Structure 1
Amino acid sequence: MSSSLQTRDTMTGTAAHSPPTTDLATVEVHRAPEESAWNDYLYNRRPDAPLYHRPEWERVYGVYRLPVHRLAAIRDGEIVGILPLVEQRSRIFGQQLTSLPWFDAAGTIADDDQARQALVDAAMELTASRKVSWAHLREENETNLSPHVRTDKVLMRLQLPDDSDTLWSALKASVRNQVRKSEKSGLTVQSGGRELLDDFYRVYSHNMRDLGSPAHSRKLFDAVCENFSDDVRLFVVYGESEPVGGGLTIANGQRLEIPWASSLRKYNRLCVNHGMYWQILSYACDSGFQWFHFGRSTVDSGPWRFKKQWGSEAVPLYWYYLSRDDAVAKAAAEPPQERFGWGTRLWQRLPVPLSRLIGPRFIAKIP
């Protein structure tokens, strides 16, 4: 017997229906379920789930007033899958739902294929009700959610030994020499919490301007630190008179991740990044983390080579694009071309204070 997948908005009480589907007869998808039920599923039934699925991220994205849509697949009154989606609208980058902007992967978590497909169908319905062009699901694993998928980005990750001494012995001599050079240059690294945020942001925003890219708002990092105070740790590299490098790490289960890191170009000769990353990796090993995630890169790029020299492996990422218009999904899945070279050069000429002021208006719209 055939039934219909029902997507119910628990905030408005309205319901939408997909075409009849036999396989999903016992699954409903609810929007904005109670946080208590969502957290019960995360912490008690899926403790391996990434930190990026926690509902606190709504308050982080709220800094930019970006709507967050939490979808929960329900079977027999219990959650069997979840998917968070952030709504972004831009004339340049399109109108889309992304899971999640700025991070490598935070896609579907589901107990089985039925629940996963229900979430995908609900995401498609949401694109129609929100009048956006496509949904962009960033998955860690190949799930065949759509024929339109980007695989040009890889996650660079390093399996960690039990202690930093073992890791040091495993590093190439060239990497150890760069770390020693950093130490001999008189650089020091401090780690801590929110008290280091000013110095981290000073370096981060300056470096983003130099790269020709908009920087996040200081308020966004405040929100990350406030909502994930037990999971966030900052590392800041200091020269004689100023901070010259910084990284924000997030504890994500058995892995430590570094979604944001920067250093000042004028100090490159001092091997700032080598000194900082060694301290972070040492901390990760000695704290019992099993993996360190350097973040995504394009193969053979400069950042990819930097991450690879530490012994990290490249793991494919699968970014799926879904749309009711197949041509739209296909076009969205094409890796972006270097179309904004003039914009990058213009941004690099901005005074740093001005780039900090207007940068968040742009980056809020970039997935």
Structure 2
Amino acid sequence: MTSNRPAGAGETTAYEVGTLDDAGMAAWDAFVQHCPQATFFHRAGWRTVIEKSFGQKCHFLKATRDGQIHGVLPLVLVRSKMFGTRLVATGWCVGGSTAVDEPEAALALDRAAQALLANSAAEYIEYRDPANPHTDGSWQIKDGIYASFERPIEAEEDACLKQIPRKQRAVVRKAVESTLVDRIDEDLKSFYQLYSLSMRNLGTPVFSRRYIATLLEVFGADADILTVYQDGRPLSSVLNFYFRDKVMPYYTGADPDARKLGAADLMYFRVMRRASARGYKTFDFGRSKLETGPYAFKKNWGFEPRPVNHEFFLKEGVTMPDVNPNNPKYQRKIEAWKRLPLPVANLIGPWFGRQVG
């Protein structure tokens, strides 16, 4: 445990920075639940999920004063033969970074993260969608790659439909009136069947079935799977997360016939309606790469994009990383992956998934 005194702070402002342990998980989550800067990706359960599913080391840091938590930073030391070693907040998630209720606590956590970097094999620290952006030039910013989408959910179904632009609304209405049915699945068989197929078709290595099962086990009532069927055949499925007043469809998969039948459109609409019935107020459509199919799909639903930045603190001599599918050097690999037989992609995909972070 280290003591950090932020520059310019008074003598009474000092934080002890320590690491999350099993005994401290409830206090960590209580802070995350009430801290406005915190997200679902700050939850303590990610430490369990990541270490159990990917075998990587978590350094979930907390800044405390007089026994009270004033900030958290869920760092993961991602060791990868493909992409090198780095510290990521939060690894395997679209968000992370410092979440604090006092500005000085973010400085204390930054310093602890930089000390970890200096004493590890990692080349850099990455904060995803930081709540406390750095303005002093010590961190490099990568922007123009991702955008996030969210908006309130109207309580009444007709008003919810009217939030969707006219052309897309017609697709949803047609799907609602069709023979498609949706249900919350208690097991992940249908979901994983569709998810793994979609990932292969995108040229992206699939995460393991064990990882998905661990998410459902660890997050319990704050995660579920909704699947749309036609005559018993699964067409579209999504794994959702719930946090405070938000529902977030996070992992999804679809049969090639799903689009023409409007199955994905019905799926997202039913997620909204079911969430609203449970008291959730906001639909978080998540992050998409700019100018891609998912990005256009979300805009067609009437969602406005919010730019998402990543920040990097680099060791001396390390160049800015470019680990994303838009990097041209990965295009041939992506196209080759799309041609793999599905059983082969499902067999070797989880090994690659452990490298991504």
Normalization by structure 2: what TM-score? Answer: 0.89
1:53-92 matches, cutoff 5 A:
53-61=42-50, 62-92=52-82
Q: Which amino acid aligns with 1:43?
A: A
Asked if 1:173 is matched to 2:166, the reply is yes
Deviation of the 1:82 alpha carbon: 0.9
CA contact under 8 A between 1:29 and 1:122: conserved in structure 2? no
CA contact under 8 A between 1:24 and 1:118: conserved in structure 2? no
How many Å separate the matches in 2 of 1:266 and 1:292?
25
Q: Secondary structure at the match of 1:364?
A: helix
Q: Secondary structure at the match of 1:186?
A: coil
Asked if 1:126 is matched to 2:113, the reply is no
Deviations 1:195-240 (A, max 9, x none): 2x11100000011111111011000011011111111121112233
How many Å separate the matches in 2 of 1:204 and 1:308?
22
Structure 1, unaligned runs of 5 or more: 1-7, 9-14
Asked if 1:93 is matched to 2:83, the reply is yes
Deviation of the 1:81 alpha carbon: 1.0
Structure 1 vs Structure 2: percent identity of aligned residues?
26
Asked if 1:294 is matched to 2:285, the reply is yes
Q: Which moved more, 1:143-152 or 1:35-44?
A: 35-44
| Counterpart residue number, 1:279 | 270
| Counterpart residue number, 2:332 | 342
Q: Which amino acid aligns with 2:19?
A: A
| Counterpart residue number, 1:214 | 205
Deviations 1:292-351 (A, max 9, x none): 1111113332211111122212222231111232x53x6126875222121112211212
Report the RMSD for the aligned CA atoms in angstroms: 2.5
| Counterpart residue number, 1:150 | 142
Taking a change above 3 Å as real, the CA distance of residues 36 and 161 of structure 1, as seen in their structure-2 partners, is farther
Normalization by structure 1: what TM-score? Answer: 0.87
Taking a change above 3 Å as real, the CA distance of residues 160 and 184 of structure 1, as seen in their structure-2 partners, is closer
Asked if 1:315 is matched to 2:302, the reply is no
**Match among 93, 114, 127 for residue 103 of structure 1:** 93
CA contact under 8 A between 1:141 and 1:318: conserved in structure 2? no
CA contact under 8 A between 1:149 and 1:333: conserved in structure 2? no
How many Å separate the matches in 2 of 1:207 and 1:219?
18
Q: Which amino acid aligns with 1:58?
A: R
Deviation of the 1:96 alpha carbon: 0.7
1:321-336 matches, cutoff 5 A:
321-325=312-316, 328=318, 331-332=320-321
Structure 2, unaligned runs of 5 or more: none
**Match among 232, 246, 252 for residue 237 of structure 2:** 246
1:11-22 matches, cutoff 5 A:
none
Deviations 1:3-42 (A, max 9, x none): xxxxx2xxxxxx6x99995648743443324444453254
CA contact under 8 A between 2:83 and 2:323: conserved in structure 1? no
